[in-house]
Amino acid sequence: MSKYWKPGSERPTPVLVDDEEGGVLFVSTSSSSSSSQLERLRQRLPVYKYRDAILYLVENHATTIIVGETGSGKTTQIPQYLKEAGWAEGGRVIACTQPRRLAVQSVASRVAEEMGVTLGEEVGYAIRFEDQTKPGLTMVKFLTDGVLIREMMDDPLLTKYSVIMVDEAHERSLSTDILLGLLKKIQRRRPDLRLIISSATIEAKSMASFFHTRKKNIRNDTIDPVPNQEPGILSVEGKGYTVEIHYVEEPVSDYLQATVETVLSIHDNEGPGDVLVFLTGQDDIEAAVKMLTDEYNHPRGRSSDLLVLPLYSGLPRSDQDLIFAPTPRGKRKVVISTNIAETSLTLEGVVYVVDSGFSKQKFYNPISDIESLVTAPISKASARQRAGRAGRLRPGKCFRLYTEEYYLKDMPSEGIPEMQRSNLVSCIIQMKALGIDNILGFDWLSSPSAEAMVRALEVLYSLGILDGDAKLTSPLGFQVAELPLEPMVSKMLLSSCEMGCSEEVVTIAAVLSVQSIWVSMRGVQKEFDEAKLRFAVAEGDHVTYLNVYKGFLKSGKSSQWCYRNFINYQAMKKVIDIREQLVRFLKRLGLTLKSCEGDLKMLRKAIISGFFAHACQLEEYSPNGMYKMLRSSQEVYIHPSSVLFRVNPKCVVYHSLVLTDKQYMRNVIAVDPAWLIEAAPHFYQIRKPNPALF
DNA sequence: GAGCACTGC
């Protein structure tokens, strides 16, 4: 029989908890407990309710780690328990982070509803462009991890929060990793602060050992009792329906063909239920959709009652919404998706999952300073997450297009954290702004390579954002840290304020912050190119964007106008939002907006002040438009999407590189080499390595 | 004449 903890009485430790839905929750105060130890405890100890276990752990442990396979939905109740138990009294706030904006909004509104309060009052949320909180009134606040990091710049110890819960920590996003490192640091100065980390079982051990500090040097004169420094672990397993896993017997040579065959076989042999297929990208997805649709048109018409839909982030919003429409009677929905359906979008009616075993992943080479996107095998954690998508409605099946032997022996158990696959300039500048001087010695959850850190420090030094002691320069370094942009874009924007063209450059900065303002349309390439020519100018893409922006404003921000001109309306709305936010930032920094009134030379000089390191020169007599980077002599080409494609000016500066079969420069402007030396003499003439950076 | 996994400030 379940026992309930009564306030005021002492709770035993360790505790074992019964899930009201019939599953069993284990609580262990030791990260090393094995499941057999837990099983023995379970027989000996009283059983407690979930709520009591949470409160027990939060009261007694500095850090609580909640593990379980993801999507248990168990974490949304926690802020309510904490609030009822008095953790939000006296102006204190309970914070809960999520890695995605949409998740913040949906969890916040669900919790507000469950608590019977108006969203934006006792329960609120904060994401970029949207602050739905009332200071003094909001007791439970949901926010993205990135917003919480920004808040630390004004309040490094996050003093207004009593408890900080970090959800989906197993995803190991860049911001989550930075946040966890910073929170561990804050804990030493704030014994009253409680952390709750929610993670998938597979990451439990690394999370627990990261937060396990044996440090006894917390001052004894603190008034607050010092909580147990060993993390308490609560395991919440057993939610969701079982998913039967099927493997192929032999490795498949063509996973597109195998995908199509598997979908058709499911359709022929399995009961009703939608199918979700995981492929790597737009190309594969469109090919698979076509193959299944051709099958549909085939005289034998095996798939005539299949509704095949593609899903990827670049798809226009209206097409994305199709996947949520109810499946017509007698039809079976087949959604062919990228990783977007692994975490960001949830399809409720899915009973069958087909997992190709691959996804596109970002990698970073600190030597060449280039990020690339490559198709690579997924991890076991990812494979489990994909399979789990089949068990939300009722028991489901997952068909893996790889062998069981491969899964067991060769598939890596966890993916490489984003921190170790990224360019670190933004990360480093945020840490510097928070006063963390020793970046190389920082206590990271997973340390990035020394090469990557040194490379980031070098880039920031060359931009004048860090000085010779690797400290933020004033005012430039501090201003760059304030701006929510890539540091090179920030530098460009701040320089433009001095050069009298900030009105234009703030628009360019906003456009460079969104994926692409063009609509990708295959099959209507000619019309698309013609539309683009209406805006194109010889100076390059950045100046072309100014024309698009002007046209969009002149049309009254019309979606019809965008449609006619092959421009992505959603992206343009985002450009407007970002531009407004940047203007507010600039005003707060005391900088003025000024137009250069068509002085495109000045405009390009401002761009160079941020991007001088991305300068390339056309190889003489090169028949195919080959460029070489001035600094590293790497071979690069102008991307066919650029307005300067085939124009091939002698000297160009690019915004970013995309690596496919060639290295392509995206967003390119033509420049005069003399401007480069003028803007960055330290970079192109005197090349002296700075010993303080090493 | 080729291509853009996914987030976030």
Task: Answer whether residue A219 shows pLDDT above 60.
Answer: no
- Which residue in A290, A294, A267 sits closest to A279, CA to CA? A290
Segment A350-375 mean pLDDT: 90
The pLDDT value recorded for residue A523 is 66
Closest nt to residue A312, judged CA to C1':
B5
Å: A673 CA to B3 C1': 30
Segment A443-468 mean pLDDT: 93
Give the closest residue to B6 (Cα–C1′): A340
Residues whose CB is less than 8 angstroms from the CB of residue A383 and which lie 6 or more positions away in sequence, other chains included: A355, A357, A400, A407, A411
Closest nt to residue A361, judged CA to C1':
B5
Å: A175 CA to B7 C1': 10
The H or E element spanning position A222 is none
Segment A591-619 mean pLDDT: 92
The mean-pLDDT minimum among A159-168, A323-332, A442-451, A580-589 falls in A323-332
- Which residue in A386, A391, A334 sits closest to A358, CA to CA? A386
The pLDDT value recorded for residue A293 is 85
Å: A274 CA to B1 C1': 39
Closest nt to residue A104, judged CA to C1':
B8
CB atoms inside a 10 Å sphere around CB A553: 12
Segment A612-627 mean pLDDT: 89
Å: A660 CA to B2 C1': 10
Closest nt to residue A100, judged CA to C1':
B7
The pLDDT value recorded for residue A72 is 56
Task: Evaluate whether A202 touches A413 at the Cβ level (below 8 Å).
Answer: yes
- Which residue in A197, A218, A193, A219 sits closest to A207, CA to CA? A197
The architecture of the domain spanning A483-679 is: Up-down Bundle (1.20)
Task: Evaluate whether A275 touches A335 at the Cβ level (below 8 Å).
Answer: yes
Domains A16-236 and A243-416 share a fold: yes
The mean-pLDDT minimum among A299-313, A393-407, A483-497 falls in A299-313
The pLDDT value recorded for residue A44 is 55
- In percent, how much of chain A has pLDDT > 90? 57
- In percent, how much of chain A has pLDDT > 70? 87
Mean model confidence pLDDT for chain A: 86
Å: A614 CA to B3 C1': 21
Segment A211-232 mean pLDDT: 66
Closest nt to residue A639, judged CA to C1':
B2
Å: A566 CA to B1 C1': 19
Task: Evaluate whether A418 touches A363 at the Cβ level (below 8 Å).
Answer: no
Segment A447-455 mean pLDDT: 92
Give the closest residue to B1 (Cα–C1′): A640
| Assigned token pair, A440 | 């190389």
Q: Which fold has domain A16-236?
A: Rossmann fold (3.40.50)
Radius of gyration of chain A (CA): 27
- HSE value, Cβ hemisphere, 13 Å, CA-based, for A468: 4
Å: A506 CA to B3 C1': 28
The pLDDT value recorded for residue A372 is 85
Only one residue has tokens 């940047």, namely A582
pLDDT tens per residue across span A67-98: 876 555 678 889 999 999 999 999 999 999 99
The pLDDT value recorded for residue A49 is 73
The pLDDT value recorded for residue A527 is 80
Q: Which nucleotides of B are covered by protein (CB under 7 A)?
A: 1-9
Task: Answer whether residue A216 shows pLDDT above 60.
Answer: no
pLDDT tens per residue across span A634-670: 899 999 889 999 899 999 999 998 887 788 999 999 9
Segment A146-151 mean pLDDT: 94
The pLDDT value recorded for residue A31 is 39
Give the closest residue to B9 (Cα–C1′): A484
Task: Answer whether residue A522 shows pLDDT above 80.
Answer: no
A591-613 burial, b for 16+ CB within 10 Å, e for fewer? bebeebeeebebbbbbbbbbbbb
Å: A54 CA to B4 C1': 44
pLDDT tens per residue across span A285-335: 999 998 988 876 665 555 568 889 999 988 888 888 888 888 888 889 999
The mean-pLDDT minimum among A291-300, A409-418, A435-444, A685-694 falls in A685-694
The pLDDT value recorded for residue A10 is 40
Q: Residue A466 — very low, low, confident or very high, per pLDDT cuts 50/70/90?
A: very high
Domain ranges of chain A: 16-236, 243-416, 483-679
The Cα-based distances of A558 to A538, A547, A561, A562, A605 in angstroms read 27, 15, 5, 7, 32
The mean-pLDDT minimum among A363-367, A368-372, A414-418, A635-639 falls in A368-372
The pLDDT value recorded for residue A300 is 55
The mean-pLDDT minimum among A31-35, A120-124, A212-216, A417-421 falls in A31-35
CB atoms inside a 10 Å sphere around CB A618: 16
Closest nt to residue A526, judged CA to C1':
B1
pLDDT tens per residue across span A268-290: 899 899 999 999 998 899 999 98
Please tell me the CATH code under which domain A243-416 is placed: 3.40.50.300
